[in-house]
Structure 1
Amino acid sequence: MNAPPAGPLPAPGRLPRRVHLGYALGSLATGAFGTVPGLLLLPYLTDTLGVAAGVAALLVLVPKAWDVLVNPVAGRISDRTASRWGPRRPYLLFAGLALALLFAAIFAAPFGSGSPAAGYVAVAFLATATAFAFFQVPYVAMPAELTEEYAERTRLMTWRIAVLALAILVSGAVAPMVVSAGGEGLAGHRWMGLFVAALIAFGAVGAFAGTRAAPTGRVRESEPTLRAQLAVAARNRPFRALLLCFVVQSAGVATILAGVNYFADQILRDPRTGATLLFACFVGPALLVMPLWTRIGARVGKLRALVAASLLLAVGVAALVSAPLLPAAAIYPVVALVGAGYAGQQVFALAMLPDCISWDEARTGRRQAGVFTGVWTAGETLGLALGPGIYGLVLQLSGYVSSDTGTAAAQSDPARFGILLGFTVLPALLVAAPLALLRRYNLPTANDDADRPVVVGNDSR
């Protein structure tokens, strides 16, 4: 499978609408896996399996941190894969279906509660994270091979983030409802695991089928070793700056996600519907503002739009620190602003990644999209893993009390303060602070060069 195939070259211009939608369907899988473990796995461990918050944080962190090692390997393998479906699409199907099956296994709970159950979750989550790496890395690599038009990548990412927002809404809002409808506790989580697995499988098969007529790219000359390829990625200064910023911001977003259930239970005092309402207010407006972000990006450039969206996200989530003093009717509109900022932050960061890949190809003459996206998704996965770990540590330090009943225990005032701080001020800092790194992102904007591969000279450091 390592011989370069004769296949279509990357598309020079606009893509059919069916390819936009087909590619975007893969975000049902990435959105569901990125959302539900971050939302429900930590509470599942602390409030259903009775695992101490600090240990639970470690169990959530380690398997996803494993992807930091696996993702670049998955990228290199997909870069060198030759098949009649192209180098990326086979992984959408086979790794996607494996991801769905293993996700259901995480919440199968064959050992009930306690230490054996916690160990089982850790192993199952590790296997699921590995399958996710082999789905996500080829999936994220595809835009650089689907089109070389600067503005078309933003359109492609707008479709993808719109479906991603829908996936977050469906998985994040409906999954807790499935847990409740299934009887809470172990039984409810088993039903939830099956529901999310079906969503992942639909997204994976949809992306595979929907991109069958799209340009797939072909294997090109690449560096001979993984170490050499990683060195190329490290020398790409715009990529390095964007990656570091996105990793830290992902940790901030994941910290918010990890705290949703705790915030709804202990701050809003609404354990049954609070999490669902938070997600509806977070994701619903995000879907509506996608066209607006596209126009803003076309007017001011992706970089400035990314900064603006990130600041909106950070300011909005910081404002939620006043939630204990406000009625719920005042809290949910602020959450909507946070969602609008999150939508733009995701759209522009992901639209800037293919620009970095094209710039590197123009500089080196080598297309290594898989390695760049492997490093990117490894960093993103690390950030998403750090979020629940950070939040779990805050819970541990503030004295959070675990439970094995399926219902959260009563918490002290310091524990409730930790829940609030971890959901608001801490993620706001994680989203805003890394924007300073973008000063080293020096690719042209759309106003400089919108329709051809980006070349800014040979200084990549």
Structure 2
Amino acid sequence: MPERADAGEARHKNEYEAIFRDNPRVPPLILLLFAGGSFGAASFIVAPQLLLLFFMTEQLGIPPVWAGAALFVPKLWELALDPVIGVWSDATSSRWGRRRPFLLAGLVLLPLGLALLFAVPSFAAWPMRLAWVSLAFLVATTGYSLFAVPYVALPGELAPDPVERTRLIACRMVFVALGILAAGAGAPLLIEALGGGRAAYAVTGGIFAVLAGLSLFGSFIAAGHAPIEQGRREKGVLASLPRATLRAVEFRALLVTYGLQMVASGLNAAMLAYAVRYLLHATESLTGLIFGLFTLASLGATPVAAWFGGRIGKRRALVLFSLIYAAGLALFWFSSPAQLGALWLAAALSGVGNAGTQVFAFALLPDVLERERARTGEDRTAAFTGIWTSCEKLGLAAGGAIGGAGLSIAGFVEGASGQNAATQTLIAVLLSLAPAALMLVSLPLLGTVESRHIQRRFA
């Protein structure tokens, strides 16, 4: 088995060096075009997470349990689709190479679905409105998967060495932050500025669809700069993937930990707009301001988190920042019109915790996959990455589905000027205590994950 792994690494090294021998550095324009795709991808993830459940119940009159299901069911489709796309992309041969055909399909479908998502016709019956949103969300999520899975693999094909690859990822993370800030803070402010009704949501969705399409198109152009590499087909990769995932103990533990944390994050985000309206008695602009503070705190804390990780280890740092995140989420419980200070502190502390959980979950992932490849002699990186991305999206959607089901059980009335006391209490619990508990429950599994890093032998 070790000889097989060493032979695979030697072959990969030779191919790697041959591809990049005459292409030592990514031009600045290509770097910006590639990284810009993260703006559209991040804004699509955030906008439904923050706004879609609220839009369906308050603007479309859809019962919350059905609205939550509309958020969750397309993610089940992605759970199956993402690993398939990863394997399919690795095996594709075309005159454009392995990745660009998938990027093109994604940049068509994602903006189309996003534009239709909030532009719902005036159907008389709410099931028809639900069907429209569900279908549009399915189109958009399919487009996102077609784009995102090969996009994650592009840095290794665009960049000739690890230093240059780090430069690509760093630039990409800037656009991720801009996308999160634009969708999380800008979209609610724009909706209120446009009047706050269904037309305002439709215009906002259309604007973000255009921005997403332009950013994804830039990445499609940038991918043309990568050397054209044809795929290699391997039999039985998909069929063996479930068993391989179960046997990959570290990967499985990290995956479940991260998935539970995404459920917590999605539940808090989905309940924020309800808390602003029914607990704080404010307008959509406050939702944007809270999410904006959360995002800025997360950005500011990212280099601090990296500093901590270098001193106490990635796993310990992930536990530490998860506890900070849980404390920030729990603090939302004390938010009220008379105690807005607690609200701002909760948003800032949650943002700091979010920075660390994102940094160290993604920092541990390649280490875990490296050890798994060394253990088995088989490279399933793309397939495992597809499982990871689908779990991330499924967790976020599950948070919204849990929120919708909880509101329905509590007797939530769609579009009402106020809610009963039980519903208000449940909104507070789902906003704060429930996601905080999920963060804590996610931590014990990390005991099976090693925190040391194994260097690549041909780095």
Equivalent in the alignment of 1:458: none
**1:300–1:221 CA distance, 2 compared to 1 (3 A):** farther
The answer to whether the Cα contact below 8 Å between 2:336 and 2:343 also exists between their aligned partners in 1 is no
**1:443–1:46 CA distance, 2 compared to 1 (3 A):** same
Matched, 1:439 2:447: yes
Which range moved further: 312-321 or 329-338? 329-338
Equivalent in the alignment of 2:345: 333
Give 3-state SS (helix, strand or coil) of 1:315's partner.
helix
Out of 79, 86, 89, the residue aligned to residue 75 of structure 1 is: 86
Matched, 1:48 2:95: no
**1:48–1:367 CA distance, 2 compared to 1 (3 A):** same
- 1:308-457 maps to which residues of 2 (within 5 A)? 308-324=320-336, 327-403=339-415, 408-442=416-450, 444-445=452-453, 449-450=454-455, 452=457
* Rounded Cα–Cα distance in structure 1 between residues aligned with 2:60 and 2:20: 50
Equivalent in the alignment of 2:136: 124
| Structure 1 residue runs without a partner (length 5+) | 455-461
**1:263–1:255 CA distance, 2 compared to 1 (3 A):** same
Equivalent in the alignment of 1:459: none
Q: How many matched pairs?
A: 442
Per-residue deviation at 1:386? 0.3
The answer to whether the Cα contact below 8 Å between 1:109 and 1:117 also exists between their aligned partners in 2 is yes
Matched, 1:252 2:264: yes
| Structure 2 residue runs without a partner (length 5+) | 1-11
Give 3-state SS (helix, strand or coil) of 2:443's partner.
helix
Equivalent in the alignment of 1:101: 112
The answer to whether the Cα contact below 8 Å between 2:328 and 2:345 also exists between their aligned partners in 1 is no
**1:314–1:36 CA distance, 2 compared to 1 (3 A):** same
- 1:13-52 maps to which residues of 2 (within 5 A)? 18=28, 22-52=33-63
- C-alpha deviations, 1:123-146, integer Å up to 9, x for none? 121222222221122223445666
* Rounded Cα–Cα distance in structure 2 between residues aligned with 1:63 and 1:381: 10
**1:293–1:45 CA distance, 2 compared to 1 (3 A):** same
AA at the equivalent of 1:374: G
**1:160–1:433 CA distance, 2 compared to 1 (3 A):** farther
Per-residue deviation at 1:93? 3.5
* Rounded Cα–Cα distance in structure 1 between residues aligned with 2:444 and 2:392: 18
**1:293–1:150 CA distance, 2 compared to 1 (3 A):** farther
Per-residue deviation at 1:368? 2.8
Per-residue deviation at 1:289? 2.1
* Rounded Cα–Cα distance in structure 2 between residues aligned with 1:20 and 1:186: 38
Equivalent in the alignment of 2:251: 239
- What is the percent sequence identity of the aligned residues? 35
Matched, 1:297 2:309: yes
- C-alpha deviations, 1:56-93, integer Å up to 9, x for none? 11122112222112122112211212345542344234
* Rounded Cα–Cα distance in structure 2 between residues aligned with 1:218 and 1:435: 41
Out of 277, 296, 308, the residue aligned to residue 265 of structure 1 is: 277
Per-residue deviation at 1:156? 6.0
TM-score (ref. length: structure 2): 0.86
TM-score (ref. length: structure 1): 0.86
The answer to whether the Cα contact below 8 Å between 1:220 and 1:367 also exists between their aligned partners in 2 is no
Which range moved further: 101-110 or 220-229? 220-229
- C-alpha deviations, 1:87-141, integer Å up to 9, x for none? 2344234312321111101122124462211111111212222222211222234
Give 3-state SS (helix, strand or coil) of 1:324's partner.
coil
Matched, 1:64 2:64: no
The answer to whether the Cα contact below 8 Å between 1:150 and 1:355 also exists between their aligned partners in 2 is no
RMSD (Å), alpha carbons? 3.0
- C-alpha deviations, 1:257-309, integer Å up to 9, x for none? 10111111122221142101101110112122222222222333322222222
- 1:128-207 maps to which residues of 2 (within 5 A)? 128-142=140-154, 159-207=171-219
**1:16–1:361 CA distance, 2 compared to 1 (3 A):** farther
Equivalent in the alignment of 2:241: 229
* Rounded Cα–Cα distance in structure 1 between residues aligned with 2:374 and 2:142: 32
